[in-house]
Structure 1
């Protein structure tokens, strides 16, 4: 097969819950303490993947992480039974479902050694996410074991790196050299900066990117203060199209000039704040969309959460967008309400990798048949409902652990991911 874009979606884990652990993530904070529905959440994610397959897109998966994270609790000198409430919640966190934070990916066309490079994110700015990277790295090393890939350990602390949620790539066509854009936050704002310039610069060096075709762009403090804790809440790019809110970037004029100089054919679709406020953009998450190229020259589609069309200003603007003659020809809503309630839309749930699917471990590539088997395991094993108080219940721990092991065994990944069995 030829090199193509593959969307790797994180399967929502059986411990999915609303503990309000993410400062700066408005949805996470607002829904803190509410009941979550892990089974429903995971099946919503499966339905989203099925819809992508129907569109003719290549689809992959990443597995949930093993929860609760006993090793992390042990390193803190505690256990599920004895940990403070916020530490216990962090050990149960299912936030690895948001695969956009798994890693930063540079395709072979952009790198000096012509391999696809992946650097696992360190996520050090949030305690509940900071212990994700070892399990993420283990999966990446299995999935991308081919010599056509280079998988790197995370950038060391204190520099925070949150992966592809703060990275965009624009190009003439997917197989040609592109322009890689790293978006970072500045410290001292309303919320802590989660993507540091130093981390972005390190990833670019590690990947062997051409400095002349690599841009480092500051996210606007206004967007971060409004709740855009990652760049993908206010901007998304695909091939030669950048789709962004007017207030997404701190120095947008310079950024757009640099981008047009490096990629003269780029099409920048900017949504005015007068048409869609930052508040509406962040509540609806309509920039946290999958902007994808449809097969057979059918243009691009914007895969948005259902909340986008339920927000009047956003719905009106999207209608205008599709009525025009631009590159985005379709808007496709998906139901990911359980993820949205914790601050993750369609783009959060996936990591884009440009590669030949035949070079990837087939256990991480899915079709409808494989998704049928995964969905059956979710329906039979995932908890139906979790409240924060349930996290101290030994019966929930047992169910979450059994559910995870059942899925890992089904996908024949036990040897690689269950080293202590």
Structure 2
């Protein structure tokens, strides 16, 4: 049975805007209140998907979630018709209006944690949607992520869908942004790495400035639900000081793919011990002696502040048909001297990485999401790939259809004041109604 890694990218929503709703996400905070370009953002994301397709890597589209979430405003005490709701929220609580319009589901890495069927005890592909409880605008995504993933991966013979973990502080779950799977190749059993930011225990270390979002208890629950075990899974804690410097998810400071782990030396607490655990688990899982390459970038070469600005570790590591690896990095890595120097050093080091490409994802980067944030990795067998919904798999025809759709339905600019425009609701609903047809997902959205 042949396995390969599908990249399921979030399609940027027509309501993409810079509301700065995420404490600890420095790029999001820095661009709060500026005008965004939904059209440019969606086209940039689509171009990244198309580039992966051109490289021969399976690529699929995760549709945006329905916005605005006006029922949230009603739950919070606002009333009247849609126009009255929006007007009242804009005057009394603009942050709530921004939350119900948030396009943050574009960052599919936060949508769920996925376990490959080659790793689970029941040999099925497991999904658990992230509850994202630490930010109001993101907590709205959990149930809809669950429903969309069930529509795309609906065959119960192959796919298991778990509900989101309980929305309590003990089980804060930020999804695959804190998950890495290492393997000799996609046909071999893998090692699951789950990173948490805090644990509900006395005297546990936590950041001082920004919230840690992912709990140890959540990683343990995922391991149990996805039928993993101590032989093929590990949990490790983020370095609290790095969270305070803007490393709100592990994928801001570490990235792994197959037998290459690329990380900053300030990624994890007790990192030397953690890397030793990873190496020992790797050796038990890979009897053919396939090497694990661990490239640890020092603070002398790239400090944490520049790591966050460049999003070097939020790049995608991709295996080409030649077996070589390519680093798909944001354009900011080319523009920043320190990040570019680190990449040049990696390319001549003894590891599988041989190529780099830089992509312009500025609209997403301005909101704190790079290449890796935009995609959910789904390791699939050929049989599982054939069993998923085919309408979301990127093809030349779908790429062209989505280009036309974006250019027709998306605004060139969207600022905070534009969220008060009731016409925006109809524009979004009309766009998503057409998207249902393009992706062959009738009834995906409940327009009320």
TM over 0.5: yes
How far 1:213 sits from its partner (Å)?
2.0
Please give the alpha-carbon distance, in whole angstroms, between the structure 2 residues aligned to 1:214 and 1:2: 22
**Further displaced range: 6-15 or 309-318:** 309-318
1:72 aligns with 2:72: yes
Q: Which residue of 2 aligns with 1:157?
A: 167
TM-score (norm 1): 0.97
Classify the secondary structure of the residue corresponding to 1:81. Answer: helix
Q: Which residue of 2 aligns with 1:138?
A: 147
Q: Which residue of 1 aligns with 2:98?
A: 89
* Contact map agreement 2:66 2:445 (CA 8 A) in 1: no
How far 1:379 sits from its partner (Å)?
0.2
Q: Which residue of 2 aligns with 1:15?
A: 15
TM-score (norm 2): 0.91
How far 1:241 sits from its partner (Å)?
1.0
Q: Which residue of 1 aligns with 2:132?
A: 123
1:324 aligns with 2:349: yes
How far 1:401 sits from its partner (Å)?
2.2
Please give the alpha-carbon distance, in whole angstroms, between the structure 1 residues aligned to 2:301 and 2:124: 42
Q: Which residue of 2 aligns with 1:181?
A: 193
**Further displaced range: 258-267 or 105-114:** 258-267
Q: Which residue of 1 aligns with 2:82?
A: none
**Further displaced range: 221-230 or 94-103:** 221-230
Please give the alpha-carbon distance, in whole angstroms, between the structure 2 residues aligned to 1:222 and 1:329: 32
**Further displaced range: 54-63 or 64-73:** 64-73
How far 1:13 sits from its partner (Å)?
0.3
Q: Residues 183-220 of structure 1, C-alpha deviation per residue, up to 9 Å, x if partnerless?
A: 01024532111111111111111101022321110000
Classify the secondary structure of the residue corresponding to 2:231. Answer: helix
Q: Please, which of 97, 119, 122 is the counterpart of residue 113 of structure 1?
A: 122
Q: Which residue of 1 aligns with 2:294?
A: 268
* Contact map agreement 1:92 1:391 (CA 8 A) in 2: yes
Q: Residues 321-355 of structure 1, C-alpha deviation per residue, up to 9 Å, x if partnerless?
A: 21334211111111100000000000000000011
Q: Which residue of 2 aligns with 1:418?
A: 445
1:37 aligns with 2:33: no
How far 1:397 sits from its partner (Å)?
2.2
How far 1:398 sits from its partner (Å)?
2.1
Q: Which residue of 2 aligns with 1:148?
A: 158
Classify the secondary structure of the residue corresponding to 1:270. Answer: strand
Q: Please, which of 404, 414, 419 is the counterpart of residue 386 of structure 1?
A: 414
* Contact map agreement 2:207 2:243 (CA 8 A) in 1: no
Q: Which residue of 2 aligns with 1:56?
A: 56
Q: Please, which of 225, 235, 242 is the counterpart of residue 261 of structure 2?
A: 242
- Aligned Cα root-mean-square deviation (Å): 1.3
**Unpaired segments of 5 or more residues in structure 1?**
none
**Further displaced range: 106-115 or 388-397:** 388-397
* Contact map agreement 2:247 2:253 (CA 8 A) in 1: yes
* Contact map agreement 1:100 1:348 (CA 8 A) in 2: yes
* Contact map agreement 1:110 1:210 (CA 8 A) in 2: no
Distance change >3 Å, CA 202–CA 210, structure 1 → 2: same
Q: Which residue of 2 aligns with 1:216?
A: 235
1:375 aligns with 2:400: no
1:168 aligns with 2:180: yes
* Contact map agreement 1:383 1:399 (CA 8 A) in 2: no
Please give the alpha-carbon distance, in whole angstroms, between the structure 2 residues aligned to 1:39 and 1:316: 32
Please give the alpha-carbon distance, in whole angstroms, between the structure 2 residues aligned to 1:218 and 1:80: 41
How far 1:419 sits from its partner (Å)?
4.1
**Further displaced range: 287-296 or 78-87:** 78-87
**Unpaired segments of 5 or more residues in structure 2?**
79-84, 199-205, 284-290
Please give the alpha-carbon distance, in whole angstroms, between the structure 1 residues aligned to 2:22 and 2:236: 24
1:341 aligns with 2:366: yes
How far 1:420 sits from its partner (Å)?
5.2
